[in-house]
């Protein structure tokens, strides 16, 4: 086989069912082999759209997402998506073309040091220099991407390697001496963890994206019920525990629920499962959970004790470790603690005012009700992301797709496309802001051409909403460069009045129709439910432009550098 043929053969051996990408001269041999292949290829309109689609495919299916791009700018356009997947531990195999080996280092046309560029934003990367190494490298890429703590792996393949021939066969397995993830946790550490749990009077289970990666949501629920403990999650952990449960604290941290933050600060034990303890969760780390000992379970030993002190570390796959811990535990009741939890939930619920304008929280609630909380929901980044996390009430894992660690605007829509490819029978929705949706709006063509019925709900406040919120709260309403309706008649320092503002920039309904999608607009509160229902029932891709109150902010909010129980609950 040629190298290009071997790549397609490897995809078939790995069970690849979808590839996202964009062709170019340095990968034209691979695309020539794809011509006769039965693996579906989805031509996006930008390489960033391709890798976010591969990411959404991976998050929603649990399988590795595959993307393919040419050398130089094609490969560098993958960088943001690679960093997004790397921060959130998402398995992706990215194949990029490279100039011929004898031209590397000569500043050849469309040459870039892709391995150098992506070294810090991939789990691993390869530059293939010998055709005889290609089969093992491809096998290793899939293995590394999907085992241990998952992540993106990039394989950069020069054009002459794609054209060269080899008799090497694709291996059934691979062993990498320096890479051996720990699956089974240390038995002594597991016993220590169980002992601490048995002694606890005010435990909180803290679940993150590692629970999703491991498929450990059932084991998590078993633990929560067995020890009668409340469960809070990170943004990446939403859906690992049903948020409709009395034991659910929902998300904690900067924009988490007040009752989750209070519970963490009063807990005597935190059972942390597949989390990183990042700054959005801990707030002022010196005052985070001051009364609690921490049991930290994670497959990646580098995450343990990285940000907080830990009493009992357990390195291992969280599904296996939780199963073993559950075997050691007896039934527990924490009636006093749960009474306090319910009191906090009653006293400090998520809430918003009804002021006669369309409130974004109400829109999210209506989407949740119309889909019975069972849709796959992608978001962009910013206020739309946080309102979705707060108000949709996810019941199952792999239903919430969002850029957590990197905070990538433009992620949600192409990710929803990938999720729709992976889940053709599911309702897939992208909840977006009017700023972030424009970063990859060109993928409307992809959705239309392949008849992918993704529904895009734009919460349109005419501004970069989260930046505007910070400027309103912390910068004396000095709104600098956040207006998305600016026009030639605007003064240099706009005071955000409605005078002379065009209503829609762009007109998202007309834009949707120009691409061949259906478009709807909602301008009044009494239109929300009926129009959303109509949009969700409309075949094919749909864009809904919802004109929301631009003054509405995301609350609660923990100011940067403050402890997580010192929250801004709303502005007077």
What residues are labeled active site?
A: 47, 109-110, 159, 466
DSSP designation for 410: T
Cβ(413)–Cβ(456) under 8 Å? yes
What number of residues does the chain have?
Answer: 572
Element (H, E) at 118: helix 114-118
- The candidate with the shortest Cα–Cα distance to 502, out of 515, 491, 486, is 486
Task: Please say whether the beta carbons of 45 and 445 come within 8 A.
Answer: yes
**Taking Cα atoms as reference points, which of 91, 93, 82 lies closest to residue 10?**
93
- Compute the distance between CA of residue 67 and CA of residue 95 in angstroms, rounded to an integer: 6
Do 544 and 363 form a contact (C-beta atoms < 8 A)? no
**Order of strands, sheet of 376-379, starting from the edge strand that comes earlier in the sequence:** 400-401, 376-379, 428-433, 455-460, 542-547, 518-522
Please state, in angstroms and rounded to a whole number, the distance separating the CA atoms of residues 20 and 47: 9
Question: Hey, is 175 helix, strand or coil?
Answer: coil
CA-CA distance, 131 to 6, in Å (whole number)? 10
The DSSP string of 515-563 is HT-EEEEE-SGGGHHHHHHHHHHSSS-EEEEEE--TT---SSBPPTTSB
Task: Cite the beta strand spans of 320-454 per DSSP E.
Answer: 376-379, 400-401, 428-433
Place of tokens 């239109």: 527
Alpha-carbon torsion (506, 509, 514, 518), positive or negative: positive
Whole-angstrom Cα distance, residue 571 to residue 567?
Answer: 11
- Residues 247 and 259: beta-carbon distance below 8 Å: no
Classify the phi-psi angles of 250: left when phi > 0, otherwise alpha if psi is within -120 to 50, otherwise beta.
left
With H, G, I as helix, E, B as strand and everything else as coil, classify residue 114: helix
Task: Retrieve residue 112's tokens.
Answer: 């870039």
* DSSP-derived 3-state class of residue 67: strand
């Amino acid at each position: 086989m040629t190298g290009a043929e071997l790549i397609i053969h490897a995809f078939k051996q790995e069970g690849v069912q979808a590839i996202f990408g964009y062709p170019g001269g340095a990968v034209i041999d691979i695309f020539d082999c794809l011509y006769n292949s039965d693996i579906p290829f989805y031509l996006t309109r930008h390489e960033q759209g391709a890798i976010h689609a591969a990411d959404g495919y991976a998050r929603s299916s649990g399988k590795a997402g595959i993307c393919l791009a040419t050398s130089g700018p094609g490969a560098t356009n993958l960088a943001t998506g690679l960093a997004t997947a790397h921060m959130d531990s998402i398995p992706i195999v990215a194949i990029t073309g490279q100039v011929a080996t004898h031209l590397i280092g000569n500043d050849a046309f469309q040459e870039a040091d892709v391995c150098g560029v992506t070294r810090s934003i991939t789990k691993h990367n390869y530059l293939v220099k010998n055709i005889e190494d290609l089969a093992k490298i491809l096998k290793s890429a899939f293995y590394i991407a999907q085992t241990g703590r998952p992540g993106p792996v990039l394989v950069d393949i020069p054009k002459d390697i794609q054209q060269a021939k080899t008799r090497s066969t694709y291996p059934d397995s691979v062993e990498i001496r320096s890479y051996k993830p720990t699956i089974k946790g240390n038995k002594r550490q597991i016993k220590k963890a169980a002992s601490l749990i048995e002694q606890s009077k005010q435990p909180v289970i803290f679940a993150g994206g590692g629970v999703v990666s491991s498929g450990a949501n059932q084991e998590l629920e078993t633990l929560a019920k067995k020890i009668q403990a409340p469960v809070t999650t990170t943004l990446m952990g939403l859906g690992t525990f049903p948020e409709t449960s009395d034991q659910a604290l929902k998300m904690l941290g900067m924009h988490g629920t007040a009752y989750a933050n209070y519970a963490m600060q009063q807990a005597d034990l935190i059972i942390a499962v597949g989390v990183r303890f990042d700054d959005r969760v801990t707030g002022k780390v010196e005052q985070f959970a001051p009364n609690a000992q921490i049991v930290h379970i994670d497959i990646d030993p580098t995450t343990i004790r990285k940000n907080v002190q830990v009493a009992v570390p357990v390195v291992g796959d969280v599904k296996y470790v939780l199963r073993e811990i559950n075997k050691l535990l007896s039934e527990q009741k924490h009636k006093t603690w749960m009474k306090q939890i319910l009191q906090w939930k009653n006293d400090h619920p998520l809430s918003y005012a009804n002021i006669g304008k369309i409130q974004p929280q109400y829109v999210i609630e209506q989407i949740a009700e119309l889909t019975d909380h069972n849709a796959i929901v992608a978001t962009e980044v910013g206020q739309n992301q946080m309102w979705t996390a707060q108000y949709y009430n996810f019941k199952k894992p792999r239903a919430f797709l969002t850029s957590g660690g990197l905070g990538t605007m433009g992620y949600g829509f192409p990710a929803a496309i990938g999720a729709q490819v992976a889940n053709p029978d599911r309702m897939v929705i992208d909840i977006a802001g009017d700023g972030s949706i424009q970063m990859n709006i060109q993928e409307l063509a992809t959705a239309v051409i392949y008849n992918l019925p993704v529904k895009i709900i734009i919460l349109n406040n005419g501004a970069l909403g989260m930046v505007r919120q910070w400027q309103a709260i912390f910068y004396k309403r000095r709104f600098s460069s956040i207006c998305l309706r600016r026009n030639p008649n605007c003064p240099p320092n706009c005071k955000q009045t409605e005078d002379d503002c065009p209503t829609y920039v762009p007109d998202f309904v007309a834009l949707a129709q120009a691409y061949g999608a259906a478009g709807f607009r909602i301008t009044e509160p009494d239109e929300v439910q009926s129009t959303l229902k109509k949009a969700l029932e409309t075949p094919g891709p749909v864009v809904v432009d919802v004109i929301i109150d631009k003054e509405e902010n995301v609350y609660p909010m923990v100011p940067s550098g403050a402890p997580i129980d010192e929250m801004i609950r709303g502005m007077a």
